[in-house]
Structure 1
């Protein structure tokens, strides 16, 4: 259930509605907009009488939400959510995801050493990226593969931010590490294998930083949005969805990049959506084309694996583009963005 208050509703009347919901042992989640307040009701809303709520002062209307995800639904929040990244400087100058500008996040799959991540950060910034990606904790399919540098890698990422001014996105794997990663990162990433790690999602709901939620390689849109709902309902509304490809019968590509997810999710949710063509294809030769297609489809950002020397990358070398190639790609991306009324 969603309770829409009238424009200019009095604070005391809004609080009376919230109190009524709480007294019925339901969870009220108010969204205070610039013009009106909307209150989502979480729980078995059948115990709350719709007519009683509609009769209360300053209540405009009550809408029933049939979708199992409430807070992530566009019915709850008709306008697109814009996520502001970073803590330094004025809000007007900070990176925004979900607006007219398409934000590019670029960097290596894994942080290897301090010199490597700083040199790559400088190059991806020259290319036009606004956010540096890089893994400090690496969940790998094989236990013998490189697992990341851990906190030392986070410190290297922080050094790269200090050197370049780029914001940082990096993955958190364990619920016990959320506070540690949040100390260094500007966006906390949930990888495909952890999309339904509910303990992790709930812990991220307590974080103050935005969360980049990658789609599980097996997940439907509904399952993906329900994972987002776990984070939002736990207290963190700043969720960015990331389409990174799904498993299909095709073996030529690492995954099948589902670009239909972009316009489909735009209908279903107010949350911004970025696309990861690096993991979505697993082939560097396909990354540029799929980035352009994602822009045309309406994505709010791109996350691209890039390295000064891709052949030397300790992981995912075959899907990593060089920073020199990235610079050329960005010129082409700008043309596509302009064609669809966006900028990059």
Structure 2
């Protein structure tokens, strides 16, 4: 009975291939790096059909964020051939084809497939290739992934979207994937619909570098590129100040002030910036910066009290050092 219920749940979760005119298709071959004839991935598929196909769909398919009820384009077909793993990828438009070729010709697709398969229990290294292209005659001539490349749609409008919608891998593979997207957009220039989101993409790159390497210089370089495209991109301004802490305290102080003066008072990191400024001024001569310390501590508390309900309180590792500086200043006689 439990097995039947599980099968019923899997059947209900299977995507419905809607009746739309097929523009073209290709077959995606997923093979094991070390296994002869890639039998391991085929055997895993036979034992875990639903999980395997769901992993492939999460890595390959794209849905229009403005029309979420429309079928994915490209869309992974329901059937798969087992030798290695041969999966049909269906295009309903030239745009779907261009999206697929753009992720196929870089590290993005392989990294995403590897990450998604690992989530369902298959962790062996894989290779990815495409074959059996079935495409209409395009004006550009030729066939396969050499045509119509590099039309990446609204993937990385914000880091949150990139993580949830694209399921980007972490670490170095994620950094490579974001760099690949940037290269694509810059090749197209302002005609690419993603060009207006380059600040957010560079922000995602800088955050990935910082989280992966803890090296401020390359992260600050990515943030500088983000601010070139949008000078008031608030997340970038704040993290520029944070990264600057490991480079120059005076520079970090300037960057925090710049962020505070630009951001609305209810922005998420305004109280953080005020508290950190208190701590930074306290690391210098508290008696010289007494007025600044009192000002920023009071502004931090006010901003924290007035924070929007969706934001968490500022954590203790930020507030406690600032509070100690404030208490130290308050116990000293005013000159």
- TM-score, structure 2 normalization: 0.24
The structure, 1 or 2, with the larger RCO (C-alpha pairs under 8 Å, 6+ apart) is 1
Per the normalisation by structure 1, the TM-score is: 0.24
